[in-house]
């Protein structure tokens, strides 16, 4: 998946620039290993020091919005102190090929054929068997395009079915002065005309395109502006907004939405987006959340037609996996969150038939024994672990409650009542049958002894192949214990995968169980120096999603210091592989940018620490701020909630004192009602706009709940404060 892509096809393996004195073209050098690299929100740069040629070169590149192409600029600076003529050769290696999995649909890559187009001043290449094209050229006067590897100085070819082409340019460089070279690349999956038109638009309008892209990124960064004492974390908060934008793809004929990760997974996943779309909601990307959710649902309807949500959709529109069991309830709960934040009733009406089908599929086909615990693979996708899993069970409980809310709103009251009753029975089953009192943890799975016994050799072999001696020992001990157990006995099993956090992530766990489990999950048995382990048995791999889920789980129970610790662990990995970016696998491998990282950064901070919980359709906003102890002053501005007629923007400033806490609230938008749930308020005098609050409720944790207007200052004074 390296190289340059204009999905659903790859355009080029890469490009290289060769510089030489015109009088001695064979004595030049290729710009290969840069001396420095800088990454910015919408462009990046390489520095090259070339003392043998008396040059310094700055390379700058960006991708224009809404055009399938790329712009790369080179600024040459003379360090020799003499004027001279230089020869530049830009070598491109094409590799027109379809995205992964296309071969399964009979779409095969064929050799590329390149030619020079003198009129266009560019090299044009085509896949021999398909209408896939790439065009690359320059706006430099006198640019000479040539096709074939022999047209450029000798360089090792890349692998694959690509072709070579080059652009030769002569330029003057004044003593101690500068000169610039610009190159443009564009492609099409449909025709040469389309590729050439895109090339011309980029070549002629690149300056305006760059300016427009800068303004768009500035606008995105202005949404949900975070002010906290930790400026480094605030910067990471902004970078994660940028990561989401890097991952947006709009593929003609397939759809637009948030993809999973680069470089390995630049397409769409049901599981990943059920996390990542919530992160989008927190930073004003409601429209993108709706688009992505619709894309996943519509594809699932075409592919499965029974409510099952797909796992993986490529940019060619092919479904590589029809869906793990967990993805269906997970998607359903994300629909409820998207509706709460957008108030988009049309979106809800589009999604609801799939919600009904999905719940029926989970509790029908996927629950053959009728015990409310659906079977099949969950998030972890561990070979052989396709029994009744904790994450599937917990998300099914959450989906039932989410579905009941939707059903009530859409006049399906009888269905809603049935789902709530089923959710209550399922919650009781999870908290009884899957809770391990001796361990103080929830189990990974419920399964018959003989089912686990058959699978155990697979689990052990996997651990042995990874050199995980601790996991091998623990599973062999489990294997030995099974010898004396009745084969048909169904019981819970603990494999210590991170998904045992899901009862706390969703709020299903009673507080006493949650606190016990979270306390153990926070120890070095489950948490490493860069986040939450994927497995407390293996204690090797960590991911931003395992850490993010635990951060949300801690926040769900007002353990904000613990939640912030985990958010900071995610943030601590920024720049470890790519400057400005956070890797999928912590601290520094896997995809160098991953969408669901926002679930572990944006969601716990906005949804729980600032406590923003809208019901946009009803124009109701609950604010339940619970700041970590190290944040005495904090603010969040321009938080978008609702869309269309119910759109509003929230500013919330918080100042916590020894005797009194101050909250400054500004909410634009007509007809909204706001309820604030204030901590540390038992017996406090609460003033709203300088007047004693008339309506208040007090809760068991010392909180006070008040109704206020949309633009007020709230003071909660304790004692004489």
Residues 666-687 pLDDT 10s: 999 989 999 999 998 988 999 9
> What pLDDT is stored for residue 328 in this prediction?
99
Burial of 576 (0-12, 13-18, 19+ CB in 10 A): middle
> What pLDDT is stored for residue 682 in this prediction?
84
CA atoms within 13 A on the CB side of 155: 26
Q: Is the separation of the CB atoms in 545 and 595 below 8 Å?
A: no
- Computed over every residue of the chain, the mean pLDDT equals 96
The residue with greater pLDDT, 413 or 707, is 413
The residue with greater pLDDT, 364 or 721, is 364
> What pLDDT is stored for residue 27 in this prediction?
84
- Model confidence over 442-452: pLDDT tens digits? 999 999 999 99
> What pLDDT is stored for residue 720 in this prediction?
53
Residue 180 has pLDDT above 60, yes or no: yes
- Model confidence over 502-529: pLDDT tens digits? 999 999 999 999 999 999 999 999 999 9
- Lowest mean per-residue pLDDT among 402-406, 485-489, 495-499, 700-704: 700-704
- pLDDT bracket for residue 418 (50, 70, 90): very high
Residue 721 has pLDDT above 60, yes or no: no
Closest CA to 20 of 73, 90, 72: 90
Exposure letters 605-619 (e unless 16+ CB within 10 A, then b) = bbbbbbbbbbbbbeb
Backbone angle region of 174, left / alpha / beta, with phi > 0 → left and psi within -120 to 50 → alpha? beta
Q: Is the separation of the CB atoms in 535 and 471 below 8 Å?
A: yes
> What pLDDT is stored for residue 702 in this prediction?
85
Residue 26 has pLDDT above 90, yes or no: no
What's the rounded Cα separation, in Å, for the pair 202 and 199? 5
Residue 701 has pLDDT above 90, yes or no: no
What's the rounded Cα separation, in Å, for the pair 525 and 284? 37
> What pLDDT is stored for residue 478 in this prediction?
94
Residue 336 has pLDDT above 90, yes or no: yes
Residue 25 has pLDDT above 90, yes or no: no
Backbone angle region of 137, left / alpha / beta, with phi > 0 → left and psi within -120 to 50 → alpha? beta
> What pLDDT is stored for residue 380 in this prediction?
87
What's the rounded Cα separation, in Å, for the pair 653 and 672? 19
CATH code assigned to 4-217: 2.70.98.40
Q: Once rounded to an integer, what is the mean pLDDT over residues 377-381?
A: 88
What's the rounded Cα separation, in Å, for the pair 96 and 7? 11
Instruction: Look at the alpha carbons of 196, 197, 198, 200 in this order and tell me if their dihedral is positive or negative.
Output: positive
3-state secondary structure 227-260: ECCCHHHHHHHHHHHHHHHHCEEEECCCEEEECC
What's the rounded Cα separation, in Å, for the pair 333 and 606? 18
What's the rounded Cα separation, in Å, for the pair 192 and 198? 10
Closest CA to 689 of 668, 671, 708: 708
H or E segment at 144? strand 144-147
- Model confidence over 99-127: pLDDT tens digits? 999 999 999 999 999 999 999 999 999 99
Residue 694 has pLDDT above 90, yes or no: no
Q: Once rounded to an integer, what is the mean pLDDT over residues 554-583?
A: 98
Q: Is the separation of the CB atoms in 336 and 327 below 8 Å?
A: no
Q: Is the separation of the CB atoms in 240 and 581 below 8 Å?
A: no
**Residues in CB range of 349: below 8 A, 6 or more apart:** 410
> What pLDDT is stored for residue 575 in this prediction?
98
* Helix, coil or strand: residue 499: helix
**Domain ranges within the chain, ordered by starting residue:** 4-217, 223-444+494-605, 611-717
3-state secondary structure 536-571: CCCCCCEEHHHHHHHHHHHHHCCCHHHHHHHHHHHH
Residue tagged 């058959």 (tokens): 454
- Model confidence over 620-646: pLDDT tens digits? 999 999 999 999 999 999 999 999 999
Give the number of other Cβ atoms within 10 Å of residue 623's Cβ.
Answer: 22
Omega before 350 within 30 of 0, i.e. cis: no
Q: What would be the CATH architecture of the domain defined by 223-444+494-605?
A: Alpha/alpha barrel (1.50)
- Model confidence over 122-158: pLDDT tens digits? 999 999 999 999 999 999 999 999 998 666 677 777 8
Q: Once rounded to an integer, what is the mean pLDDT over residues 479-491?
A: 94
> What pLDDT is stored for residue 434 in this prediction?
98
Closest CA to 474 of 417, 414, 539, 421: 539
Burial of 543 (0-12, 13-18, 19+ CB in 10 A): buried
Q: Once rounded to an integer, what is the mean pLDDT over residues 391-419?
A: 99
First to last CA, the chain: 61
- pLDDT bracket for residue 441 (50, 70, 90): very high
> What pLDDT is stored for residue 68 in this prediction?
97
**81, two tokens:** 């102190």
Q: Once rounded to an integer, what is the mean pLDDT over residues 645-652?
A: 96
Q: Once rounded to an integer, what is the mean pLDDT over residues 25-48?
A: 95
Burial of 369 (0-12, 13-18, 19+ CB in 10 A): exposed
The β-bridge partners of 586 are 542
What share of the chain in percent tops pLDDT 70?
Answer: 99
Q: Is the separation of the CB atoms in 144 and 168 below 8 Å?
A: yes
Give the number of other Cβ atoms within 10 Å of residue 80's Cβ.
Answer: 13
Closest CA to 441 of 377, 519, 359: 519
What share of the chain in percent tops pLDDT 90?
Answer: 91
Give the number of other Cβ atoms within 10 Å of residue 666's Cβ.
Answer: 15
**582, two tokens:** 């956070």
Cα distances (angstroms) measured from residue 355 to each of 296, 306, 410, 500: 13, 10, 12, 25
What's the rounded Cα separation, in Å, for the pair 372 and 358? 14
Exposure letters 235-245 (e unless 16+ CB within 10 A, then b) = ebbbbbbbbbb
How long, in residues, is the chain? Answer: 721
- pLDDT bracket for residue 719 (50, 70, 90): low
- pLDDT bracket for residue 693 (50, 70, 90): confident
> What pLDDT is stored for residue 266 in this prediction?
97
What's the rounded Cα separation, in Å, for the pair 298 and 21? 58
Residue tagged 């080179």 (tokens): 74
What fold characterizes domain 611-717? Maltose phosphorylase, domain 3 (2.60.420)
Give the number of other Cβ atoms within 10 Å of residue 544's Cβ.
Answer: 33
Q: Once rounded to an integer, what is the mean pLDDT over residues 540-561?
A: 98
């Amino acid at each position: 998946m390296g190289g340059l892509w204009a999905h659903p096809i790859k355009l080029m393996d890469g490009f290289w620039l060769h510089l030489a004195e015109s009088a001695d073209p064979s004595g030049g050098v290729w710009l290969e290993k840069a001396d420095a690299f800088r990454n910015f929100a919408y462009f990046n740069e390489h520095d090259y020091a070339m003392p043998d040629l008396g040059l310094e070169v700055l390379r700058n590149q960006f991708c224009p919005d809404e055009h399938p192409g790329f712009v790369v600029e080179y600024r040459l600076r003379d360090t020799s102190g003499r004027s001279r003529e230089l020869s530049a050769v830009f070598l491109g290696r094409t590799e027109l090929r379809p995205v992964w999995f296309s071969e399964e649909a009979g779409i095969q890559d064929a050799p590329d054929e390149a030619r020079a187009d003198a009129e266009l001043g560019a090299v044009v290449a085509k896949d021999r068997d398909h209408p896939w094209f790439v065009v690359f050229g320059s706006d430099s006067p006198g640019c000479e395009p040539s096709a074939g590897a022999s047209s450029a100085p000798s360089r090792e070819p890349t692998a694959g079915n690509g072709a070579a082409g080059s652009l030769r340019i002569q330029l003057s460089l004044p003593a101690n002065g500068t000169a610039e070279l610009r190159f443009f690349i564009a492609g099409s999956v449909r025709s040469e005309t389309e590729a050439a038109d895109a090339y011309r638009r980029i070549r002629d309008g690149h300056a305006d395109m760059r300016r427009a892209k800068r303004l768009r990124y500035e606008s995105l960064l202005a949404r949900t502006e975070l002010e906290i004492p930790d400026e480094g974390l605030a910067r990471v908060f902004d970078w994660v907004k940028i990561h989401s934008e890097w991952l947006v793809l709009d593929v003609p004929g397939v759809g637009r939405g948030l993809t999973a990760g680069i470089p390995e997974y630049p397409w769409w996943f049901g599981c990943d987006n059920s996390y990542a779309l919530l992160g989008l909601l927190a930073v004003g990307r409601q429209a993108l959340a709706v688009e992505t959710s619709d894309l996943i649902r519509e594809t699932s309807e075409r592919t499965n037609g029974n409510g099952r949500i797909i796992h993986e959709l490529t940019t060619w529109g092919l479904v590589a996996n029809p869906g793990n069991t967990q993805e269906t309830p997970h998607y359903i709960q994300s629909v409820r969150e998207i509706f709460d934040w957008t108030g988009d009733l049309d979106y809800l009406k589009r999604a609801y038939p799939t919600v009904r089908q999905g719940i029926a599929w989970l509790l029908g086909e996927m629950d053959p024994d009728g015990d409310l615990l659906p079977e099949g693979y969950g998030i972890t996708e561990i070979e052989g672990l396709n029994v009744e899993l904790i994450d599937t069970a917990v998300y099914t409980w959450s989906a039932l409650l989410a579905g009941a809310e939707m059903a009530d709103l859409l006049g399906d009251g009888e269905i809603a009542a049935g789902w709530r009753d089923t959710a209550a029975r399922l919650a009781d089953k999870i908290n009884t049958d899957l809770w391990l009192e001796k361990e103080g943890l929830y189990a990974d799975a419920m399964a018959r002894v003989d089912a686990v016994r058959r699978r155990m050799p697979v689990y052990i072999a996997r651990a042995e192949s990874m050199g995980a001696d601790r996991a091998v020992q623990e599973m062999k001990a489990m294997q030995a214990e099974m010898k004396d157990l009745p084969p048909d006995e169904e019981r819970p099993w603990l494999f210590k995968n991170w998904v045992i956090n899901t009862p706390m992530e969703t709020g299903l766990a009673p507080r006493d169980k949650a606190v016990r489990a979270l306390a153990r999950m926070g120890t070095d048995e489950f948490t490493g120096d860069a986040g939450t382990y994927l497995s407390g048995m293996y204690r090797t791999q960590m991911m931003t999603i395992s850490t993010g889920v635990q951060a949300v789980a801690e926040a769900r129970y007002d353990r904000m210091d613990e939640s912030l610790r985990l958010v900071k662990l995610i943030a601590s990995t920024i720049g470890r592989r790519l400057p400005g970016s956070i890797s999928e696998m912590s601290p520094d491998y896997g995809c160098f940018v991953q969408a669901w990282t926002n679930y572990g950064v944006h969601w716990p901070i906005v949804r729980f620490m600032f406590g923003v919980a809208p019901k946009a359709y009803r124009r109701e906003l609950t604010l339940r701020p619970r700041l970590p102890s190290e944040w005495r002053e904090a603010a969040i501005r321009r938080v978008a909630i609702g869309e269309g007629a119910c759109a509003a923007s929230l500013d919330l400033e918080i100042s916590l004192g020894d005797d009194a806490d101050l909250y400054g609230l500004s909410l634009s938008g007509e007809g909204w009602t706001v309820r604030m749930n204030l901590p540390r308020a038992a017996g406090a005098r609460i003033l709203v706009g300088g007047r004693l609050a008339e309506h208040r409720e007090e809760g068991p944790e010392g909180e006070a709940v008040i109704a206020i207007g949309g633009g007020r200052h709230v003071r909660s004074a304790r004692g004489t404060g």
